[in-house]
Amino acid sequence: LGYHIKANPKYGSEKKGQPTTYYLSAAPEPIRINCEYFYVDVVLSPDPNVFHHTNAVAGLKEGGVFIIQSDRGSPDQVWADIPEHYQQIIVDKQIRLFYLDAFNIAREEATDTELQLRMQGIAFQGAFFAASPLAQQTGLGEEKLLQAIRSQLEHKFGTKGARVVEDNVRVVKRGFDEVCEITDKEVGIQAARLIDARAEPKLPVMVRRLPESAAPSADIHRFWEQTGNFYARGMGNDNLTDPFIGLGVMPASTSLFRDMTGIRFEHPQWIAENCTACGNCYTVCPDTAIPGLVNEVGQVLDTVVSRVRKNGKDVHHLPRAVRQLERSLRGLLGQAAESDPVGPLLQEAITATVNNADLAESERAELKREFEWFNEELDGFQFALSRPYYTLPEKKAAGSGGLLSITVNPYTCKGCMECVAVCDDAALIPVRQTGDSVQQLREQWNFWLDLPTTPQKYIRVDDLEQGIGALETILLDKEAYSGFASGDGACLGCSEKTVMHLFVATNDALMQPRVKAQLARLDDLIGRLERHIQLQLVQEVNVSDTTALAKILSRNGDHDLTLSDIARQMEDMQGSQPIDPAWLKRVTGLLSRLKDLKWRYLEGTGGRGRSNMGMLNATGCTSVWGSTYPFNPYPFPWSNHLFQDSTSLAMGVFEGHMAKMAEGFKAIRSAELELSGQYREAEHEAFFTYFTWEQFTDEEFLLCPPVVAVGGDGAMYDIGFQNLSRLMMSGKPIKVLVVDTQVYSNTGGQACTSGFIGQVSDMAQFGKVQKGKREVRKEIGLIAMAHRTTYVLQSTIAHANHMIEGFIQGLMAPRPALFNLYTSCQPEHGIGDDMGHHQAKLAVESRAYPLFRYNPDKGKTPAECFDLEGNPAMFEDWPSYSLGYLDGSREKTMDLPMTFADFAMTEARFRKHFRMAPPDTWHDDMVPLAQFMQLDAAGREGKYPFIWTLDKRQHLSRLLVDETMVKSSEERRDFWVMLKAIAGVKPKAPDTAAGLEEKTRRDVVRRIASGLLRLAEGGGELPADLLDGDDDVIASSNASGAAAMAARPGAGVPAGDYMAPWLDTDECTACDECTNLNSAMFAYNEAKKAYIKDPLAGPYRDLVKAAEKCTAQVIHPGLPADRSEADIDKWIARGAKYN
């Protein structure tokens, strides 16, 4: 058309959750004005819920065009979704209303998942030209118009190939053809449960449960009334001007104001009977939106009865009847399989309870009605009979099993579907969101809120401070899981948030029992000190002088007698020593300080007690999604200043924080000295005057909420690196959390020193001269090790137990700790919203991001302090994986090395380094990349490295790898070799003749033991291949024998003897804990059931850890033959309970 165009977006700094408005103007002459547009001709809304939070027709001219996204099946349904007052505006202004299901077009047409949202916009372009009067006004026919659009698309996407251009043209054409106008617009037709955007929003459910603060600036209820409710209605610009806004301060947890219902189109649905309780879903969820919970049967029934009463129902028989119901239900549950749904069994038990009740008919009718109320409250809430929480506890003690529930929080779920992606049991499925489904989610969430938290017996952690057990089960505790509020503006599936959630939950789980014990200690001290003061004050009353007491009583006659009267008369008769006012002032002041300290732990100014940590956040993604006004997801003190100085701020805050903690410990120590009679003013006054955190005991240090500095790789690797280095050298026990996205995510994806060779980003573009980033990746973990003062962890969200164990060790260490965590950035890495966990796992398996820990307290040599536990194929350059493919119609598999390039080809940031080689171009000079990297320069001449992949038909395909990707893969391999050298990891030397004889003897003993166990359990005759069978068969054919061994732990095994490990393969639930820990030791058979592949492929501690973490608890570590392993006695003791 030759038009001049001006376009600009208007958006806040948040990543997700607030509407973004894009303005476009087009005219034959230059457009001089720069401003937001209010009066417009056309409005396009890809948000189907736009009318529920925004007046989207404001300023739209009479006769204008409005196009909205909708997947409704008819125009009438689309019209009914629009609130009535907006319907009236549309009719009055004669606005032409169109709708288009652009999401469906994008899903069907986009060849890449990450292109779906962009494709939706392309479809709206076609709809715009079909619905707007522009084509008609300019005389463009459909054919000429589409040809003009094709020309523009070729200009924009031509360099990306003809396929990309054709994909876009096809989407534009579908948008042009499929847009539909709504002509029948009767005002007043409304869909069910339609919310009026003008109505005063209700106080959010979770905010109602929070106490009011005594300080107005920190009061979340005041903040809701004056600020939050305006934002909830899309009226953020209409806030009242008050002193609090000028402060730039938000109360804690204000992100609870947010309701994410409007930004998702699907939500997960839990299928209880398929659930194996692996915990992957609630562990990986970045939005704390799918908590797991385990409750005793009685707790569930009592909760329902309580809800019936709370809703005003007068129940006479139900409280007693549920006790009988519990007995009946337990009987049915005991006969049920783990895959049986609990709901029908509960209804069967209710029917039996009513029928068997010893009541008159009228009373039986009342009981039946009360159970109807009971069912209304339960309202289909699902529970699962899982092996770790019901079956196994019931085997140990009848009545001890618990019911597992997985519940979606409708207020924080953004619909990223990562929980669905990590569920291998089809226990979570995505479903389309409807008004009815949202209402059901909210009702089930309200029920979940009333359920008590998971009893400690179901949290499968033996000692949290030692990291013993299935550590992710700490998230079953409501307080630990909900310590991070969510409701923030992070992108869908943001891995940074998963890291933050796991860190906050770990710290909360550590602090809770310490604070509980501290409160008990304070209660005891306060009680004893009060009695001590009382005794000192009345000791002048000599109760042993009965003669004096008799005289006082006779003098008093029939008048009332007080303690002060007795003391005064005793003093008159006997004389007394005056009370030391200095002592009295000191001890009463001490008592007051103890009571104040208790109040701070329990309530404090904010009403929520003392915080479990304080956080200093560097500017970046974490500060933006975590603090965009007025939504704050953190329930503890949080501050942000600049990009580079969070660690420096943390050092100052730490000193002030420790000074405050020291005051509390002074009071406690002084009280204990006073009560023991050991307080010496001259000695202790001087000591306490200079008492600092460096003199804290271990118990006192662990009671101090940690000061945590948080930042991205840009803040910590680059601009703030000197600040971080200073903190580490200071030795102050400040904790540093680095969310490593390998790019400057917040500012648009600029290159960072944390990036990999060849990574394409802003300032590291791919072109003729430069092929992405040139420099090797900076390894902050190695740099931190060189400081020799700091605990270092490098981990990923795909290895939650490894990460949580590292958090525990770092938080417990009285030294600085650096937690460097791999975090996928969906938009910058070019991956799907649900792929964070998958890519993190792939990063470790491809050596892109090895797991390691460095603890200076472990010893003097690097090998003593450094461990690579959790990495696959420890002795190999590359792990291997099995690639399944179709050869014609036959299914085949091929074992291949997992190189860095195999990881890189799955992400858009590396895509330009690969080129597909059609099968007709294959030749003998094409060499697999792993082999190519083993060749010298001369051997590489004329060779073309490639990696195997699959095409859409699941046939083998080759991806050619460019020179930059070869260098990047070599760099990652060499880094892995360096790490192994630091850790002292070397392949075992070949066995000598004597060694082979001993190994053979142990093998024979192990096979015979396995055969005898099967025989003892009724397995028939000994297998014919007992002495020459396959190791894998022997290792995996032990389910029944294991049951016998588990029933008599350690039976008949003298101390120091070898006991072969075994695994109840048939009971395996494929939770991946053992294979993630050591894939050389554990493997899956064809039925996806685990077996012990090689019990000697790692240290004995791997067997013990696998047993502790195993969801189904089917691993039995036995006893080691080699007792030379470090701390072997500790590991044998830890493993005993699983034998």
Residue type, 238: D
Question: CB of 797 within 8 A of CB of 495?
Answer: yes
Of 139, 161, 182, which residue sits at a domain end?
182
Residue % of the chain over a pLDDT of 70: 90
Confidence of residue 1047 (pLDDT cuts 50, 70, 90): very low
Q: Is the pLDDT of residue 576 over 70?
A: no
Q: What is the pLDDT of residue 47?
A: 85
pLDDT tens-digit series, residues 689-705: 999 999 999 999 999 99
Please name every residue paired with 1108 in a beta bridge, in sequence order, or none if there are none: none
Q: For strand 292-296 and strand 402-406, is the pairing parallel, antiparallel, or unpaired?
A: antiparallel
- The torsion of the CA quartet 671, 672, 675, 681, rounded to 10 degrees, works out to -70
Residue 583, CA distances (Å) to 529, 536, 542, 682, 731 in order: 13, 10, 21, 13, 39
pLDDT tens for 659-671 read 999 999 999 999 9
Please check whether residue 959 is in contact with residue 916, taking contact to mean a CB–CB distance below 8 angstroms: yes
The per-residue pLDDT for 1049 is 40
Tell me, yes or no, whether 601 lies in a domain: no
Domain end residue (candidates: 436, 458, 480): 458
Cα gap 808→503, rounded to integer Å: 9
Quickly count: other Cβ atoms within 10 Å of residue 507's Cβ. Answer: 22
The reported pLDDT for the residue numbered 12 is 61
* Residue range 1003-1012, pLDDT digits in tens: 666 666 655 6
Contact, 24 vs 5, CB < 8 A? yes
Beta partners for residue 22, in sequence order: 9
**In sequence order, which residues have a C-beta less than 8 Å from that of residue 762 and are 6 or more positions away?**
744, 748, 749, 750, 751
Tokens linked to 331: 């009987």
- pTM greater than the 0.85 cutoff: yes
> 154 and 275: one domain?
no
Q: Does 637 reside within a domain?
A: no
| pLDDT at residue 14 tops 80 | no
pLDDT tens, 114-166?
Answer: 566 677 888 998 899 888 888 777 777 778 888 888 888 888 777 767 777 88
Q: Which residues contact 950 (CB under 8 A, 6 or more apart)?
A: 883, 885, 956, 957
Across 440-469, average pLDDT: 95
Residues 289 and 143 in one domain: no
Domain match, 171 and 274 both:
no
Residue 343: pLDDT above 70?
yes
Per-residue pLDDT, averaged over 629-656, amounts to: 92
Q: What is the mean pLDDT of residues 770-792?
A: 94
Q: Looking at the structure, do residues 267 and 171 belong to the same domain, yes or no?
A: no
Q: What is the per-residue pLDDT for 866?
A: 95
Token pair listed for 542: 């000599």
Residues 272 and 175 in one domain: no
Structural domains in the chain (count): 3
* Burial (CB count <10 Å: 0-12, 13-18, 19+), residue 19: middle
Domain presence at residue 921: no
Same domain, 276 and 167: no
CA neighbor of 336 nearest in space, from 269, 383, 377, 371: 383
Q: Tens of pLDDT along 271-289? A: 999 999 999 999 999 999 9
Q: For residue 771, report the phi and psi dihedrals to the nearest 5 degrees.
A: -110, 60
Reduced DSSP (H G I as helix, E B as strand, rest coil) percent helix, strand, coil of the chain, to 5: 50, 15, 40
DSSP letters spanning 14-59? -SSSS--EEEEEEESS-----S---SEEEEEE--TTGGGTS-TTTT
pLDDT, tens digit, 9 for 90 and up, residues 211-241: 888 888 889 999 998 888 888 877 777 777 7
HSE value, Cβ hemisphere, 13 Å, CA-based, for 684? 14
Same domain, 271 and 399: yes
Length of the chain: 1139
Hey, which residues does 40 pair with through a beta bridge? Answer: 60
Residue environment code for 157-192, b if the CB has 16+ CB neighbours within 10 A, otherwise e: beeeeeebbebbbbbbbbbbebbbebeebebeeeee
User: Do both 47 and 167 map to the same domain?
Assistant: yes
| Interacting residues of 677 by C-beta distance below 8 A, sequence separation 6+ | none
pLDDT at 1026 over 60: no
* DSSP label of 419: H
- DSSP helix/strand/coil, 451: coil
Could you tell me the residue range of the domain that residue 128 belongs to? 38-182
* Residue 969 predicted with pLDDT over 60: yes
Residue 935 falls inside a structural domain: no
**Looking at residue 172, which CATH number applies to its domain?**
3.40.920.10
More confident residue, 386 or 1040: 386
Residue 1020 domain-assigned (yes or no): yes
pLDDT for the residue 497: 94
Q: Give the side-chain half-sphere CA count within 13 A for 1125.
A: 17
The C-alpha atoms of residue 960 and residue 929 are separated, in whole angstroms, by 9
267 and 178 co-located in one domain: no
Shared domain for 272 and 166, answered yes or no, is no
Residue 96 contacts residue 64 (beta carbons within 8 Å) = yes
* Cα atoms found within 13 Å of the Cα of residue 398, Cβ hemisphere only: 9
Question: Does residue 1022 sit within a domain?
Answer: yes
Q: Are residues 283 and 154 in the same domain?
A: no
The answer to whether residue 1007 is domain-embedded is yes
Strand partners, 293: 405
- Which of 823, 500, 520 is CA-nearest to residue 636? 500
Mean pLDDT of 940-969: 95
Tell me the pLDDT band of 1025, cut-offs 50, 70 and 90: very low
Higher pLDDT, 517 or 557: 517
Structure tokens at 369: 């009605």
Q: Report the pLDDT value the prediction gives residue 1046, as an integer from 0 to 100.
A: 38
Domain contains 1122 = yes
Amino acid 18: pLDDT: 61
Mark which of 432, 458, 484 sits at the end of a domain: 458
What contacts 127, CB < 8 A, 6 or more positions away?
A: 44, 67, 98, 100, 102, 175, 176, 178, 179
CA nearest neighbour of 510 among 140, 812, 115, 89: 812
> Using CA of residue 155, residue 160, residue 166, residue 167, what is the dihedral sign?
negative
- The CA dihedral of 763, 767, 770, 772, to the nearest 10 degrees, is 60
Three-state SS at 957 = strand
Looking up residue 423, the CATH number of its domain turns out to be 3.30.70.20
> pLDDT digit string (tens) for 594-621?
999 999 999 988 889 999 999 999 998 8
